[in-house]
């Protein structure tokens, strides 16, 4: 699953693909999901988990379908590392990241702070911090906390908000952005770009 320290990420974004991704992000995720669903493009992501050091570079969508082995690898990387619990990650979360990467014009790996979170872990974190929701979408595999090297987190949060594809939380001090596939809402620190 995880590539070694010298992993490579084959990013095949041409000008047309980049502009299509940028336009989709700006138009909103609902419109972009329709565009993504009708397009046979190849979608790839690179992820590195900040807590475990595990890395993954995978084509998760190709030839008009999600790639099951890649989704299993994503589920493993984004497991609750505290309890080693696996849970299926909503492919819509990956699509949001893919569109964000396109909109940001980046080929870097997303740094993952948190993917799936078990109810046990969520409750422990909630007791320790007021910023953890009792019914967090992390527990449904529908949320991820990330940063993208070379892209300021405020800009990443702004791009995610423009997607209008779910929740976006911006955490300036902790330096990460939460994105999910729930209802459209925003929270966190004010954006200063």
- Name the nearest CA neighbour of 88 among 66, 55, 103, 109: 66
Q: Please enumerate in sequence order all residues whose Cβ is within 8 A of that of 28, keeping only pairs 6 or more positions apart, or say none.
A: 162, 163, 164, 165
7, pLDDT greater than 50: no
pLDDT value of residue 21: 45
Instruction: Output the domain CATH number for residue 128.
Output: 3.30.1380.10
Task: Please give the Cα distance from 142 to 116 (Å, whole number).
Answer: 8
Q: Please enumerate in sequence order all residues whose Cβ is within 8 A of that of 123, keeping only pairs 6 or more positions apart, or say none.
A: none
pLDDT tens figures, 37-85: 545 589 999 999 999 999 999 999 999 999 999 999 999 999 999 999 9
Domain that holds residue 82: 15-186
Is 10 domain-assigned?
no
Total domains, the chain: 1
Task: Please give the Cα distance from 123 to 139 (Å, whole number).
Answer: 10
Q: What is the pTM of this model?
A: 0.79
pLDDT tens figures, 9-45: 333 444 444 444 444 444 444 444 444 554 558 999 9
pLDDT value of residue 31: 40
Task: Please give the Cα distance from 96 to 106 (Å, whole number).
Answer: 14
Is 5 domain-assigned?
no
Give the pLDDT mean for 110-134: 88
Is 68 domain-assigned?
yes
Is 182 domain-assigned?
yes
Is 70 domain-assigned?
yes
Is 192 domain-assigned?
no
87 with 141: CB under 8 angstroms? Answer: yes
Is 82 domain-assigned?
yes
* Average pLDDT for the chain: 83
Is 158 domain-assigned?
yes
- In order, the DSSP letters of 56-78 are EEEEEEETTEE-HHHHHHHHHHT
184, pLDDT greater than 80: yes
116, pLDDT greater than 80: yes
Task: Please give the Cα distance from 59 to 81 (Å, whole number).
Answer: 23
């Amino acid at each position: 699953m995880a590539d070694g320290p010298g992993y490579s990420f084959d990013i095949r974004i041409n000008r047309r693909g980049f502009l299509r991704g940028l336009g989709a992000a700006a138009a909103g995720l609902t419109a972009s999901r329709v565009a993504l669903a009708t397009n046979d493009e190849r979608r790839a992501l690179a992820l590195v988990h900040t807590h475990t050091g595990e890395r993954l570079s995978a084509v998760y969508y190709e030839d008009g379908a999600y790639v099951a082995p890649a989704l299993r690898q994503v589920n493993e990387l984004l497991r609750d590392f505290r309890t080693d619990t696996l849970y299926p990650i909503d492919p819509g979360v990956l699509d949001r990241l893919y569109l964000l990467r396109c909109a940001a014009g980046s080929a870097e790996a997303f740094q993952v702070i948190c993917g799936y979170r078990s109810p046990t872990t969520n409750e422990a974190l909630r007791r320790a911090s007021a910023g953890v929701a009792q019914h967090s979408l992390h527990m449904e595999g529908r949320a991820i906390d990330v940063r993208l090297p070379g892209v300021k987190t405020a800009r990443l949060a702004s791009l995610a908000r423009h997607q209008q594809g779910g929740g976006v939380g911006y955490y300036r001090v902790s330096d990460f952005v939460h994105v999910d596939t729930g209802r459209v809402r925003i929270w966190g620190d004010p954006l200063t770009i």
